[in-house]
C-alpha cells in the first residue's frame, strides 16, 4: 500500500505544479502579485487581514482576497466589511473536503476574481500546518502566521511549513504576559529551520506591529518585479 501511495502523491504534485505555472502566467499577464497566506487553524490569519488591509486602497494598492476553507464563508463575510473583492472557495464543495488549496482549486476560482482591478491578491489557505506547504498555487510570496499560544516548538515539529515561507508573522503578542512562552526560543527555532525567513511580531487584536506587515504587503509588487 505504501509504495503505491507515494507514487500517486508524486503524480498529483506534478499536475499541481503544471497548473500552478498556468496560474502564474495569468497573474503575471494581469499584473497581480499573489501571496499565499498559511497557518494552523485559529492563528489569526483573517483577523490580521482585517487589520492590515483596512484603508490599503488609500495607499494606492488595490488588494483582493481569495478565502479557502473546508466549509462556510465566515472569513469572507468578515472581510466583506473592508469593501474589497473577496471570494470564498470551499474545499468540501466538489473537492472532497481537502485540507489545503491546490493550484487547480485556485484556477477554478480565477474566473470569479477581478484580476484586472487588483495589484495584490492574497490567498488565505485552509488552516493547516502540513499540507498547504506541499502545494504550490502559483504565488509570488508565501507567508505563515504563527500564534504565540501554539508553543515555541512548532518550527521543529512542522519544519516544511516554516521552510516554505519567506515571512513568518508571530501573532497574538498581546497575550505574552499571560503565557509561559519564550519568544526568543521561537525565533531561534525558526532560524534553525529557515535562516532566511523574515519574522514580524504582531497583535492583530491590538494592532501592534501590523503597520510593518501592511508596508510589507505594499512592497510585494515592487519586489515581485525586481530581478532575483
Residues near a copy of itself, by CB under 8 A: 1-2, 5-6, 8-9, 12, 15, 19, 40-42, 69-72, 74, 94-99, 104, 126-131, 134, 147, 149-151, 153-154, 156-160, 172, 174-175, 178-180, 205
Least separation in angstroms between CB 5 and a copy of itself: 6
Beta bridge partners of residue 167, listed in sequence order: 143, 198
Least separation in angstroms between CB 32 and a copy of itself: 24
- Of 124, 102, 119, 154, the closest CA to residue 49 belongs to 124
Least separation in angstroms between CB 47 and a copy of itself: 8
Q: Which set of grid coordinates corresponds to residue 111?
A: 474566473
- Helix crossing, 45-53 with 210-218: angle to 10°? 70
C-beta closer to a copy of itself: residue 99 or 218: 99
Least separation in angstroms between CB 6 and a copy of itself: 6
CB-CB contact of 169 with 146 (8 Å): yes
C-beta closer to a copy of itself: residue 4 or 58: 4
C-beta closer to a copy of itself: residue 1 or 222: 1
Least separation in angstroms between CB 96 and a copy of itself: 6
C-beta closer to a copy of itself: residue 1 or 226: 1
Q: Within 54-136, where are the H helices?
A: 74-80, 103-110
C-beta closer to a copy of itself: residue 82 or 175: 175
- Of 125, 139, 167, the closest CA to residue 32 belongs to 139
CB-CB contact of 66 with 109 (8 Å): yes
Least separation in angstroms between CB 148 and a copy of itself: 9
Q: How many CA atoms lie within 13 A of 190 on its CB side?
A: 26
C-beta closer to a copy of itself: residue 151 or 219: 151
Alpha-carbon span 152 to 186, nearest angstrom: 5
Amino acid at each position: 500500500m505504501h509504495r503505491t501511495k507515494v507514487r500517486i502523491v508524486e503524480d498529483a504534485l506534478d499536475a499541481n505544479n503544471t497548473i500552478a505555472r498556468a496560474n502564474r502566467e495569468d497573474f503575471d499577464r494581469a499584473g497581480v502579485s499573489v501571496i499565499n497566506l498559511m497557518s494552523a487553524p485559529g492563528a489569526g490569519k483573517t483577523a490580521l487581514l482585517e487589520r492590515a488591509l483596512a484603508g490599503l486602497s488609500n495607499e494606492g494598492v488595490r488588494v483582493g482576497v481569495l478565502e479557502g476553507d473546508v466549509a462556510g464563508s465566515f472569513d469572507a463575510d468578515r472581510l466583506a466589511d473592508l469593501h474589497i473583492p473577496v471570494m470564498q472557495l470551499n474545499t468540501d464543495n466538489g473537492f472532497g473536503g481537502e485540507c489545503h488549496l491546490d493550484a487547480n482549486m485556485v484556477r477554478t476560482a480565477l474566473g470569479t476574481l477581478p484580476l484586472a482591478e487588483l495589484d495584490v491578491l492574497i490567498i488565505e489557505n485552509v488552516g493547516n500546518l502540513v499540507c498547504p506547504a506541499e502545494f504550490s498555487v502559483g504565488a509570488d510570496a508565501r507567508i505563515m502566521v504563527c500564534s504565540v499560544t501554539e508553543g515555541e516548538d512548532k518550527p521543529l515539529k512542522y519544519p516544511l511549513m516554516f521552510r516554505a515561507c519567506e515571512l513568518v508573522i508571530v501573532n497574538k503578542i498581546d497575550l505574552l504576559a499571560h503565557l509561559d512562552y519564550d519568544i526568543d526560543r521561537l525565533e531561534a527555532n525558526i532560524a534553525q529551520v529557515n535562516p532566511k525567513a523574515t519574522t514580524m511580531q504582531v497583535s492583530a487584536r491590538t494592532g501592534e506591529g501590523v503597520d510593518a506587515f501592511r508596508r510589507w504587503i505594499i512592497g510585494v509588487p515592487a519586489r515581485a518585479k525586481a530581478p532575483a
